[in-house]
């Protein structure tokens, strides 16, 4: 097997380790270690895939409800209580729509484009941690893998824009690629400053470095500028308003998605929301302490006088970790939705100016200052 992952299992850190428990259980039932591993492998992947799709349904519902609240409407209310089943209805509608490939479009590239947009986003969930051992694979290159994978997406956008045989689609695809390239650089530089402080690319190590003093040890206090840069760039990478130029409906109909319908359109839709939730999760991992609770769980167990290694306490700790990661992420999703319904769209030249002439220099200065602070105060900035 690839030896890139599962470094965590070798060190046996504290906290829940579902994998080793499962493997022990399976081997206890008389399976060989190889077969036990083979049984284990699909489980976390399926779980994360289901989690990602449920996350999308929740954020679509939030988007509808919050936009309604912003515009003083009620929003969906008949499909389920408070309209919670509305996203499901949307999805079912898209499944049953006719799948159209326009005449004189390039059928092969037209079908391949949405796939290339969605697959890298879902693959990136590999590195999102919900707890010390609650992630698919603690890859050593961690956060770098996400940056690399997200750079594949513009190829899918260019592909669907080109193959639609439509001016609006092509322009949308080109804009998406230009936007994605320009905002990837400040994004990577902001991540680099965090990586420099935690001395590791692994998402688990990045969170571990933010534990200790609860909310005060989170990276947002040490990297406020980096946090803002990262959030702006993440919004631009997700093509959310105020940066939704690739699909600006007044100018480009719907950009690269103009000709798509049915499930292919649903893939774009799914991809953009999975990407939004993923970006929010990564902001919470990089800057808001990931799964750590504002008051360290070790302190609480100390006050209560229970051992942090007791099985029940570990289960509670793990649940708190998952809940706080998701809460932080959805708080950010809420801000993204609020931004979408309250800000106007920027122009393409303003977008590129912001990326290249403002964010890039600021990100470079942020990196330099972080390096200087790391040398000057190695205690606070992870020497």
Q: Which residues bind another protein (CB under 8 A)?
A: 1-4, 7, 34-35, 37-38, 109, 139-141, 144-145, 147-149, 151-152, 154-155, 158-159, 161-162, 170, 173-174, 177-178, 180-181, 184, 201
> Checking phi first, is residue 199 left (phi over 0); if not, alpha (psi -120 to 50) or beta?
left
Quote the DSSP letter at residue 244.
-
Q: How far is the CB of 203 from another protein (least distance, A)?
A: 13
Structure tokens at 83: 């309209």
Break the chain down into helix, strand, coil percent, rounded to 5: 70, 0, 30
The rounded distance, in Å, linking the Cα atoms of 146 and 287 is 16
Q: How far is the CB of 224 from another protein (least distance, A)?
A: 27
Q: How far is the CB of 178 from another protein (least distance, A)?
A: 7
Q: How far is the CB of 105 from another protein (least distance, A)?
A: 13
Based on its alpha-carbon atoms, the radius of gyration of the chain, rounded to whole angstroms, reads 22
Q: How far is the CB of 266 from another protein (least distance, A)?
A: 23
Distance between alpha carbon 257 and the CA centroid of its chain, in Å? 22
Q: By the 8 A CB rule, do 314 and 297 touch?
A: no
Q: By the 8 A CB rule, do 18 and 7 touch?
A: no
Q: How far is the CB of 109 from another protein (least distance, A)?
A: 7
Q: How far is the CB of 101 from another protein (least distance, A)?
A: 17
Q: Between 7 and 69, name the residue whose CB sits nearer to another protein.
A: 7
Q: Between 87 and 154, name the residue whose CB sits nearer to another protein.
A: 154
Q: How far is the CB of 65 from another protein (least distance, A)?
A: 35
Q: How far is the CB of 141 from another protein (least distance, A)?
A: 5
Quote the DSSP letter at residue 288.
S
Q: By the 8 A CB rule, do 199 and 205 touch?
A: yes
Q: Between 137 and 217, name the residue whose CB sits nearer to another protein.
A: 137
Q: How far is CA 369 from CA 28, 194, 230, 233, in A?
A: 54, 12, 16, 20
Phi and psi at residue 361, to the nearest 5°: -60, -40
Q: Between 60 and 351, name the residue whose CB sits nearer to another protein.
A: 351
Q: Between 199 and 342, name the residue whose CB sits nearer to another protein.
A: 199
Dihedral angle sign, alpha carbons of residues 93, 56, 334, 243: negative
Q: Between 25 and 35, name the residue whose CB sits nearer to another protein.
A: 35
Q: Between 98 and 250, name the residue whose CB sits nearer to another protein.
A: 250
The rounded distance, in Å, linking the Cα atoms of 196 and 204 is 15
The rounded distance, in Å, linking the Cα atoms of 171 and 139 is 37
| Beta-carbon contacts of residue 199 (< 8 Å; ≥ 6 apart) | 205, 209, 382
Q: Between 10 and 312, name the residue whose CB sits nearer to another protein.
A: 10
Q: Between 94 and 149, name the residue whose CB sits nearer to another protein.
A: 149
Q: How far is the CB of 30 from another protein (least distance, A)?
A: 17
| Beta-carbon contacts of residue 29 (< 8 Å; ≥ 6 apart) | none
Structure tokens at 331: 């708080």
Q: Between 85 and 112, name the residue whose CB sits nearer to another protein.
A: 112
String of DSSP letters for 42-64: HHHHHHHHHHHHHHHHHHHHHHH
Omega before residue 124 within 30° of 0, cis: no
């Amino acid at each position: 097997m690839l030896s890139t992952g599962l470094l965590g299992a070798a060190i046996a850190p504290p906290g829940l380790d579902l994998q080793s428990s499962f493997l022990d259980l399976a081997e206890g039932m008389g399976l060989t270690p190889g077969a036990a591993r083979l049984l284990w492998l699909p489980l976390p992947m399926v779980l994360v895939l289901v989690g990602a799709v449920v996350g999308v349904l929740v954020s679509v519902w939030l988007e509808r409800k919050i936009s309604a609240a912003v515009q003083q409407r009620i929003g969906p209310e008949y499909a389920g209580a408070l309209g919670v089943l509305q996203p499901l209805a949307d999805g079912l509608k898209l499944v049953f729509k006719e799948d159209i490939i326009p005449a004189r479009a390039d059928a092969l590239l037209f079908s391949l484009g949405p796939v290339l947009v969605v697959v890298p986003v879902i693959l990136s969930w590999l590195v999102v941690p919900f707890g010390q051992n609650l992630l698919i694979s603690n890859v050593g290159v961690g956060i770098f893998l996400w940056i690399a994978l997200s750079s594949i997406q513009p190829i899918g956008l260019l592909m669907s824009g080109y193959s639609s045989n439509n001016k609006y689609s092509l322009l949308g695809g080109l804009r998406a690629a230009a936007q994605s390239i320009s905002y990837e650089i400040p994004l990577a530089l902001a991540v680099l400053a965090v990586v420099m402080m935690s001395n590791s690319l692994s998402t688990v190590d990045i969170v571990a470095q933010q534990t200790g003093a609860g909310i005060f040890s989170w990276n947002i206090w040490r990297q406020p500028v980096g946090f803002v840069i990262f959030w702006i760039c993440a919004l631009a990478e997700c093509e959310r308003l105020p940066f939704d130029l690739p699909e600006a409906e007044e100018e480009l109909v719907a950009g690269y998605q103009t000709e798509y319908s049915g499930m292919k359109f649903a893939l774009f839709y799914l991809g953009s929301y999975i990407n939004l939730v993923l970006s929010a999760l990564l902001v919470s991992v990089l800057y808001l302490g990931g799964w750590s609770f504002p008051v360290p769980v070790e302190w609480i167990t100390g006050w209560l006088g229970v051992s942090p290694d007791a099985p029940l306490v570990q289960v509670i700790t793990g649940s708190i970790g998952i809940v706080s990661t998701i809460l932080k992420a959805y708080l950010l999703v809420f801000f993204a939705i609020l931004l979408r319904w309250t800000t106007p769209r920027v122009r393409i030249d303003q977008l590129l100016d912001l990326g290249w002439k403002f964010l890039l220099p600021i990100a470079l200065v942020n990196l330099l200052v972080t390096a200087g602070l790391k040398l000057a105060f190695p205690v606070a900035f992870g020497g």
